Structure 1
């Protein structure tokens, strides 16, 4: 049996950072369930994000439990798999968040505490905004008319009422994911990477993780850990894997016949995400940008002329349909049209995707899509909470995921205000002169029950799952502020699952920051 000083489970945004830093000082095994990056070269290029998103091999196929306030629909909750995780399939948006996002985090995790970790990550990534194109400038000018303040970059911790070209992690034609920057370009000498390695369980003895069992190439193999085990499989996988290993709510484990190693009721609770809707418009001329590069943040209900400064609760994104609508449909149409086990039939997925390819070759459709853009309204500070629980003791069975979308009245009011704000932006001079005409029902002046019928059917995830292993000193938090799993000797959690409250912006940058801090804590000798 092989032995390692440390084992990191999950080769995603946080896991690559943590494993790389630890491997500079120790022997580290990094286990990733998905493929090596070179098997899917689109994960290494800046332009490959749309193709990566539509590649079944690079996304976990998961559906949520039916969402009562989304018309009883299950929501697609896939996340990235393969080296780099979601950081290899996303739009490369890099935002630290608003400094006040972290006021709700424990002491030691406030803005001034975490900026050095952000800077350490950024020194390897290299981040920069993309210059706005003429159409993007029209959106920015319209948002300024609607009361936003123009600010490009947006990583100084003040996102209140600002709009601009967001920072992105790319360099030329390269994607600068944590995998690319920390593992691929300069492999640490002490790092062993195993891809196609799905964790089956963590082996505990006397409250200490001593080994992991993982499936690879049809066999179950075991690796021993003498130092620390770092769980970095993401907010939808880390709690599932811990529960399968006997760490979680005792009653939940007993229901599935799993021996209890540690009763941790908070595992799987406090699930948060950013639900969104996209309001589509047509323009007179083709839309000329390719990336999700233009963002705004504000209190949704703030009116033009009112002072800015309150913590933002909503994010607004200008979406260019020509850049990725075909690929998005290649991903989502099979999900929506093939429920349950039908989605597992590869032939049916191929037939649907082939039909989409043919449709997009038709000149009338191409012309229509070329002039199509959207304003995405993202609920940035949801007060609703969901949960994740086991479906069975089968390590291959996905968890039961209840997102809890719109279960709070405050969230419903914020989304309504955000939609009204987006309509205001679209009606402003620069976009009006570009010929912006509403296409989605929500972009038109509908309200009340009619608006919510559309919203219930149009809501989707922004793939920003977090909170399921929240950190804090309170009894309800299963992870302490040094990222140690309470009650176990040598297990840390280092991914978005530890976030006690979701930031208003994308989670890729904060996830990498958490991976950085996990390595810092371990290398400092900060043991349980």
Structure 2
């Protein structure tokens, strides 16, 4: 754990910054506190209950920092990995394809290893293409079996999200997720977040189907308040549609298929509704109707897409239907090469020599928030471990 924590801290020093909170994100912060997502924890990278500001990879000048900033070694990116082939000596030989569709092999020195880091979708796919996976499935596709590892591509998860989007009556700043509300630090409740972004308005069609409106698309700013279920237990899987390495694999996450996840989504969407009812967001409501003798016009959100059920306070069934109809991804894919089933505790592929997988495909469960920091920590942790092993040998 000392090395794990040191690796996290190294990543934070190298590429994270404290964002400046204003405009829409400041309003969301106030709305979360008004909805009793307390205490206020200010800026912190720690996982704590309440409302906080998380770190960003954008510096003060707006430049985004990525994993490439952490590499102090020369890296050549010229090709797409197609397979990892087993040589007669039971070591691994990566086979790649360049932009001209010419194949190349990368030869390893004696004692060398291949570390596969293609992500939660790419790594299981490459193992399957290399003949490492369920033997029956591989044989059906005509792929020679190198190692019968039944759980490759299994036990996959993704954090589902649901939310409400609306068009504010006035222009607002464009912002990625900066403020987060964590009602319970043990992960029993959904996390609450918000973003604002620019989207093109779809063209309007007449009854005869010609397009009506300007030839160029119109763009509007959309604000979103969302909840996401951390640590989902609804399980999915990945499998090859064919033996063609350039064809995307088939993938199904089965979002909210387990009642535990659906129950947490219901609670999370109800929290979203409470945030939207806060006085802190009144300035983002649009005028509805016209002035009359009964008083001022009513103000409400100009919703884009599905609206909340009318009886959201009491009708769990209606909220569950809303969750199932509006569920979307947060792109936090993980699993497919989980420890104890596909890799061992040192990330070595079980039953295969000289091959490791180090990426989010080896997560047994999600960090709950954006997994980028955890993935980068894993890379640093594993490199430190490998260097220490090399020094002990020499």
Q: Given the two structures, how large is their TM-score scaled by the length of structure 1?
A: 0.63
- 1:12 aligns to what? none
For 1:129 and 1:514, locate their aligned partners in 2 and report how far apart those are by CA, in whole Å: 23
Shift of 1:449: 5.6
Q: Which is greater in Rg?
A: 2
Farther-moved stretch of structure 1 (205-214 vs 512-521)? 205-214
Residue 406 (1) aligns with residue 256 (2): yes
For 2:251 and 2:198, locate their aligned partners in 1 and report how far apart those are by CA, in whole Å: 27
CA pair 152-213 structure 1, distance change in 2 beyond 3 A = same
Alignment of 1:69-108 (within 5 A): none
- 1:465 aligns to what? 333
For 1:524 and 1:456, locate their aligned partners in 2 and report how far apart those are by CA, in whole Å: 48
Select which of 356, 361, 369 maps to 1:505: 369
Contact 1:276–1:462 (CA under 8 A) maintained in structure 2: yes
- 2:92 aligns to what? 210
- 1:325 aligns to what? 199
For 1:297 and 1:133, locate their aligned partners in 2 and report how far apart those are by CA, in whole Å: 20
For 1:453 and 1:146, locate their aligned partners in 2 and report how far apart those are by CA, in whole Å: 24
CA pair 403-288 structure 1, distance change in 2 beyond 3 A = same
Residue 153 (1) aligns with residue 56 (2): no
**1:16-55 CA distances to partner (integer Å, 9 max, x unpaired)?**
xxxxxxxxxxxxxxxxxxxxxxxxxxxxxxxxxxxxxxxx
- 1:118 aligns to what? 8
Shift of 1:325: 2.6
Shift of 1:377: 1.5
Contact 1:128–1:153 (CA under 8 A) maintained in structure 2: no
Farther-moved stretch of structure 1 (285-294 vs 385-394)? 285-294
For 1:211 and 1:443, locate their aligned partners in 2 and report how far apart those are by CA, in whole Å: 54
CA pair 310-453 structure 1, distance change in 2 beyond 3 A = closer
CA pair 143-260 structure 1, distance change in 2 beyond 3 A = same
- 2:52 aligns to what? 164
Residue 229 (1) aligns with residue 114 (2): yes
- 2:281 aligns to what? 431
CA pair 453-218 structure 1, distance change in 2 beyond 3 A = same
Residue 137 (1) aligns with residue 26 (2): yes
Contact 2:332–2:370 (CA under 8 A) maintained in structure 1: yes
For 2:45 and 2:169, locate their aligned partners in 1 and report how far apart those are by CA, in whole Å: 34
Contact 2:17–2:57 (CA under 8 A) maintained in structure 1: yes
* Unmatched runs of 5 consecutive residues or more in structure 2: 204-210, 286-299
For 2:120 and 2:387, locate their aligned partners in 1 and report how far apart those are by CA, in whole Å: 24
Report which of the two has the higher share of helix: 1
Contact 2:120–2:334 (CA under 8 A) maintained in structure 1: yes
For 1:153 and 1:516, locate their aligned partners in 2 and report how far apart those are by CA, in whole Å: 24
- Indicate the SS of the match to 1:168: coil
CA pair 399-134 structure 1, distance change in 2 beyond 3 A = closer
For 2:237 and 2:374, locate their aligned partners in 1 and report how far apart those are by CA, in whole Å: 21
CA pair 264-525 structure 1, distance change in 2 beyond 3 A = same
- Indicate the SS of the match to 1:380: coil
CA pair 207-265 structure 1, distance change in 2 beyond 3 A = farther
Shift of 1:492: 1.0
* Unmatched runs of 5 consecutive residues or more in structure 1: 1-107, 300-308, 334-351, 361-365
Residue 255 (1) aligns with residue 140 (2): yes
- 1:315 aligns to what? 191
Residue 242 (1) aligns with residue 127 (2): yes
Higher relative contact order, chain-length normalized (CA < 8 Å, sep 6+): 1
For 1:224 and 1:510, locate their aligned partners in 2 and report how far apart those are by CA, in whole Å: 30
For 1:479 and 1:434, locate their aligned partners in 2 and report how far apart those are by CA, in whole Å: 49
Contact 1:313–1:381 (CA under 8 A) maintained in structure 2: no
Equivalent residue pairs, number: 361
For 1:411 and 1:207, locate their aligned partners in 2 and report how far apart those are by CA, in whole Å: 47
CA pair 391-457 structure 1, distance change in 2 beyond 3 A = same
- 1:416 aligns to what? 266
Contact 2:124–2:153 (CA under 8 A) maintained in structure 1: yes
Shift of 1:524: 1.8
CA pair 244-434 structure 1, distance change in 2 beyond 3 A = closer
- Indicate the SS of the match to 1:441: coil
- Indicate the SS of the match to 1:481: coil
Shift of 1:470: 0.8
- 1:358 aligns to what? 216
Contact 2:187–2:231 (CA under 8 A) maintained in structure 1: no
Shift of 1:208: 3.1
Contact 2:266–2:316 (CA under 8 A) maintained in structure 1: no
For 1:263 and 1:464, locate their aligned partners in 2 and report how far apart those are by CA, in whole Å: 28
Contact 2:18–2:54 (CA under 8 A) maintained in structure 1: yes
Shift of 1:467: 1.1
- 2:225 aligns to what? 375
For 1:215 and 1:433, locate their aligned partners in 2 and report how far apart those are by CA, in whole Å: 54
